Amino acid sequence: MPFIIAIDGPAAAGKGTIARALAAHFGFHHLDTGLLYRAIGAKGGDPVAAARSLQPGDLDRPDLRSAEAGQAASRIAALPEVRAALVDFQHRFAAQEPGAVLDGRDIGTVICPDAAVKLFVTASDQVRAQRRAAELGADADEMLIQLQERDRRDRDRAAAPLKPAPDAVLLDTSHLTIAEAIARAIAQVEKARTAVSRN
């Protein structure tokens, strides 16, 4: 049975960095599920049809990391029909041996509620805005407004809102270095793997 790690949290909290590091450390597959919604927005046209026809190669577009793609993804992710169309894609990915790391907004609550490890990665609004501004070469104040708008949309949507799973471990990266955040995440996974091997 594959070992599944679910990582959720708002934009620019560090979940993608942590997810990639965990996948590399443990030799697991990694899926940034936010790219699914970004890819659908980039494809244009009817988002439900785009979701149903999504292929792994669609996730390789170079323009998917832009701020515009992120805003479009947040709007598209609020559509229940789009989310439903992507569930199978994500389930198939999570079922790969020896294990998979999926990061997004509803992995621990909706997509993989039985994941062996659930992390909810967060950071203060100001820290996240500064990180995203540095990443994109943008204005931090403008990024703060955009992130808060996106957070509100993600939290308030009816379909799979952004929230930690009841059994998720909270990892606040506001005052952690990347290495410290990754080390804490690895420790959580090691603890869970030890518990699984004993059962």
Give the residue ranges of the annotated binding site for ATP.
9-17
Known binding-site residues equal 9-17
User: Residue 16's closest CA among 164, 185, 192, 150?
Assistant: 185
Q: Each residue of 91-128: b (16+ CB within 10 Å) or e?
A: eebbeeeebbbbbbbbbbbbbbeebbbbbbbbbebebb
User: Residue 20's closest CA among 99, 136, 102, 133?
Assistant: 102
